[in-house]
Structure 1
Amino acid sequence: MNHLSLILKREYLTKVKNKSFIIMTFLSPLLIVAIFALVAYLSSLNNNTVRQISILDESGLFANEFESTPQMQYKIIQNTPLSKAKEEAEKSEVYGLLYIPKTKGIDEFSNTITFYSEDSPSLSVMKDINNVLETKANNLKLREQGIDSETIKNLHININANQETFQGMETSKLGSGLKLIFGGAAGYLLFMFIIIYGNMIMRSVIEEKTSRVIEVIISSVKPRALLLGKIFGTTLAGITQFLVWVILIGILSTIVTSLFGIDPASVSPQQQALEQGVDGGAQEVIRQVLMEINNLPILNLIIMFILFFVGGYLLYASLYASIGAAVDSETDTQQFMMPILMPLILAVYVGFFTVIDNPHGTVSQVFSYIPFTSPVVMLMRIPFGVPLWQQILSVVILFLSFGATVWFAAKIYRVGILMYGKKPTYKEIFKWLKY
């Protein structure tokens, strides 16, 4: 244990004192905040863009249906030939010209209305225009058949069935979305952490192996203690870097927001809808969001996130370290990376395509107990309500699997760390497990 603590300390200090580690620790948050600030700024510019659309309505039925907004200005053109209207629209550099011809019947509007523009118009703009045209045309068609469109509208009933568990807890579609966001964020964060810092461990082992420093260390330290020391040391370095990122991103985000006046929420359509007040259902949405967040098992999520985060990372880190010991260069690791990455990728796909549809189905439950997929899948299932005994069983299986993986990885580490000049095959690695 004394050797383990010394190796852990050495590995941790070596990592945190490394120049590239220090640079990326402080540079990464700056780049992340800069990218988000740039996106927010460009989004604000896009939202502030005023599009002017000319409307030539020869039928006289649709022009008054278009209402201008701060982002969309409509200009009605009257008594002007189409060719001249197109020429004027092109010269004045308006966003586009909507041409509505005069037809014999309402049905002919379906394929005679044309929108002229310099380039391909925005999908959202065309959707809004088509919605206005369809609504008016359908109302005219109903009126033509002697049917009052307002009567039909008043007779229409919207049904939104209440959702409630057998225990009396209210649920909703919004709650399911929030649960998916919480679970997906936790699973994806673990996925990225494993890949980033697993590769860090692997490179560290390869560097020590190629520099022959490992030959000196291995003479006085058992391979398992050396392996665990590198895993734990790199893990602590990774957690340190992650915490620094969180703190710096929070500070930089506050500075950028106040200094440049960039607020992503203020330019979003959702925020604009909330600012419209009670008529837009803002208070009801806020009430539902707060209710669903309050219903989430926050404490359970935090505790299990830590356990699965640590267990999942340690499990994969031992595999990364064994691969680093088996090869002489990072190029040679490619043939061994796929078997490690496939379970992780599979876990993400199962999480997003199975858990979202049926979080308590057979597939979701099975992958919640497989140690190579459980850290991601179980974290995504927990917000939907998983019995505590299933969570504990999954954690126990995960840490037992880590112990077994370390035992196998140490065997590969013990032999591979002293071998040079030859690319190992899977057959040779299996032989190492027998030594």
Structure 2
Amino acid sequence: MSNLKLIIKREFIARVRNKTFMVMTFLSPLIFVGMISLITWLATLNNEEVRQVAFFDETGLFLSDFRDSENIDYINYTDLTLENAKDSVVIKKMYGLLYIPKKQSNRELAKSVQFYAEEAPNISILNNIEEIIANKLTNQNFEEKGLDLNIIEDSRAKVSIQIENFSGEKTSKMANYVKMFFGGAAGYFLMMFIIIYGNMVMRSVIEEKSNRIIEIIISSVKPLQLMMGKILGTSFAGILQFIIWVTLGAVLLLVATSVFGIDPQYAGVEQSIALDGNQEEIQLLLQDILKLPLGTLVFAFLIYFIGGYFLYSSIYAAIGAAVDSETDSQQFMLPIILPLMLGIYVGFFSVIENPHGTVSTVFSMIPLTSPIVMLMRIPFGVPWWEVLISILLLIGSIIFMVWLAGKIYRVGILMYGKKPSYKELFKWLRY
């Protein structure tokens, strides 16, 4: 037992003192926030770009309908010929030329409008132009049929469905997207953590094996103790890193709420002032975020991180013991990556669509995928007994996998110069 403690301490200190670990621990939250800020800023710059669009209207119907907006400046080239208009747009490097030909009927006209541009135009610009033309032609059709436009406009009904549960609590239409975001982020980060820390264990074993240090260590420590020491030491370093990230994330959240003037209690209190539709939707969205089981999600993340890490790290350790270099380990990576990727795809395509369906429930119980899929399901509300069954199955699988990996580890740790195959690994299990 004392040897196991020494190995755990050695692995933990080796990981924590690593410069990369320190940089990633304290800078990752700042880098993450910085990347989001940069992307938002770049998107804003892109949206602020004003594009010049010329239009050539043979019908004369739309001369007053194309009005400048924040992102588009419309220029009337109807006085020119079509060919001169095209040449002018190319020379002045405008965004494009809209050509509206003269036709016998509005039906023909709607199918004949063209847009000339050097590159494929932005879909939002095309949608804007199509909407302007469609509204004009529609109103013309109404007038030709003797319909009063004012009466038609007054008769339009705008429906906004209010969502409320049976206890009287209102919720936002975006509630499922909020749950999808938090659950998906938790599942994705868990997958990345398992891969990162699992690879740390594998590299550590390969490094000691290639340096022949392992031969000295193994003379004093049992192979299973050595494997468990590496897994536990790295897991404690990972947990420490996770706690630091959560703490820094909470601090950054508090700073953000202070800077942007967001009151966390505002969403949970009934307001006496009247709110318009958009403000009320934002209010309900904030309520939905605060109603999420964030504490349960963080706790479950920690539990499933430890469980998923132990399950996969034992496999990583066995692979590290079986090979002589990282290059040789690539042939064994597919059985590790495949269940993790499957969990992500099931989460995004099944859990989001039907979080309590058969596929979602089954994959949240299978130990190789449950750490990811169950985390994605938790924001949607999962019965405690399903979570308990999932955790118990995960613990049982960890015990079995550690025992299985230990048999491969104790044989492979002293094997040199031979590239093992799956057949060879199965032979080692019988030793």
Matches within 5 A, 1:120-269: 120-166=120-166, 168-241=168-241
The 1:55–1:294 alpha-carbon spacing in structure 2 relative to 1, beyond 3 Å, is same
Instruction: Report the Cα distance in structure 1 between the residues aligned to 2:11 and 2:378, rounded to whole angstroms.
Output: 34
Match of residue 46 from structure 1: 46
Contact 2:62 2:133 in 1 (8 A): yes
The 1:181–1:203 alpha-carbon spacing in structure 2 relative to 1, beyond 3 Å, is same
Instruction: Report the Cα distance in structure 2 between the residues aligned to 1:299 and 1:241, rounded to whole angstroms.
Output: 18
Alignment gaps of 5+ in structure 2: 261-273
| TM, length-normalised to structure 1 | 0.86
Amino acid at match of 1:196: I
Contact 1:33 1:249 in 2 (8 A): no
Whether 1:302 and 2:331 are equivalent positions in the alignment is: no
Note the C-alpha offset of 1:319: 1.0
Per-residue CA distance 1:300-332 (angstroms, 9 max, x = gap): 222212211221112111111111111111111
Match of residue 324 from structure 2: 328
Instruction: Report the Cα distance in structure 2 between the residues aligned to 1:299 and 1:216, rounded to whole angstroms.
Output: 45
Match of residue 95 from structure 2: 95
Instruction: Report the Cα distance in structure 1 between the residues aligned to 2:253 and 2:282, rounded to whole angstroms.
Output: 24
Secondary structure of 1:173's counterpart equals: coil
Q: Which moved more, 1:36-45 or 1:94-103?
A: 36-45
Amino acid at match of 1:183: G
Q: Which moved more, 1:27-36 or 1:409-418?
A: 27-36
Match of residue 79 from structure 2: 79
Instruction: Report the Cα distance in structure 1 between the residues aligned to 2:303 and 2:254, rounded to whole angstroms.
Output: 31
Amino acid at match of 2:75: K
Q: How many residues align?
A: 415
Contact 2:194 2:305 in 1 (8 A): no
Q: Which moved more, 1:313-322 or 1:98-107?
A: 98-107
Note the C-alpha offset of 1:153: 4.2
Match for 1:405 among 388, 401, 407?
Answer: 401
Note the C-alpha offset of 1:344: 0.8
Match of residue 107 from structure 1: 107
Matches within 5 A, 1:415-430: 415-430=411-426
Note the C-alpha offset of 1:393: 1.8
Identity of aligned residues (%): 52
Amino acid at match of 1:301: L
Alignment gaps of 5+ in structure 1: 256-262, 264-276
Per-residue CA distance 1:375-419 (angstroms, 9 max, x = gap): 111111111111111112211221222122111111111111111
Contact 2:171 2:285 in 1 (8 A): no
Match of residue 291 from structure 1: 287
Q: Which moved more, 1:315-324 or 1:161-170?
A: 161-170
Amino acid at match of 2:217: I
Whether 1:384 and 2:358 are equivalent positions in the alignment is: no
Secondary structure of 1:65's counterpart equals: coil
Instruction: Report the Cα distance in structure 2 between the residues aligned to 1:80 and 1:286, rounded to whole angstroms.
Output: 49
Per-residue CA distance 1:122-152 (angstroms, 9 max, x = gap): 2221121112112222222232233345444
Instruction: Report the Cα distance in structure 2 between the residues aligned to 1:388 and 1:19, rounded to whole angstroms.
Output: 41
The 1:148–1:48 alpha-carbon spacing in structure 2 relative to 1, beyond 3 Å, is same
Instruction: Report the Cα distance in structure 1 between the residues aligned to 2:405 and 2:56, rounded to whole angstroms.
Output: 74
Q: Which moved more, 1:86-95 or 1:416-425?
A: 86-95
Match of residue 264 from structure 2: none
Amino acid at match of 2:406: A
Secondary structure of 1:53's counterpart equals: strand
Instruction: Report the Cα distance in structure 1 between the residues aligned to 2:302 and 2:115, rounded to whole angstroms.
Output: 55
Contact 2:172 2:285 in 1 (8 A): no
Contact 1:103 1:109 in 2 (8 A): yes
Contact 1:33 1:253 in 2 (8 A): no
Secondary structure of 2:229's counterpart equals: helix
Amino acid at match of 1:47: N
| TM, length-normalised to structure 2 | 0.86
Instruction: Report the Cα distance in structure 1 between the residues aligned to 2:182 and 2:33, rounded to whole angstroms.
Output: 22
Match of residue 266 from structure 2: none
Contact 2:51 2:94 in 1 (8 A): yes
Instruction: Report the Cα distance in structure 2 between the residues aligned to 1:247 and 1:296, rounded to whole angstroms.
Output: 19
Note the C-alpha offset of 1:223: 2.1
Amino acid at match of 2:193: F
Secondary structure of 2:64's counterpart equals: helix
Amino acid at match of 2:396: L
Note the C-alpha offset of 1:57: 2.1
Instruction: Report the Cα distance in structure 2 between the residues aligned to 1:282 and 1:4, rounded to whole angstroms.
Output: 59
Note the C-alpha offset of 1:191: 0.7
Q: Which moved more, 1:237-246 or 1:2-11?
A: 237-246
Per-residue CA distance 1:91-147 (angstroms, 9 max, x = gap): 333322222233222112123222223333222211211121122222222322333
Whether 1:10 and 2:46 are equivalent positions in the alignment is: no
Alignment root-mean-square deviation, CA: 3.0
Amino acid at match of 2:209: K
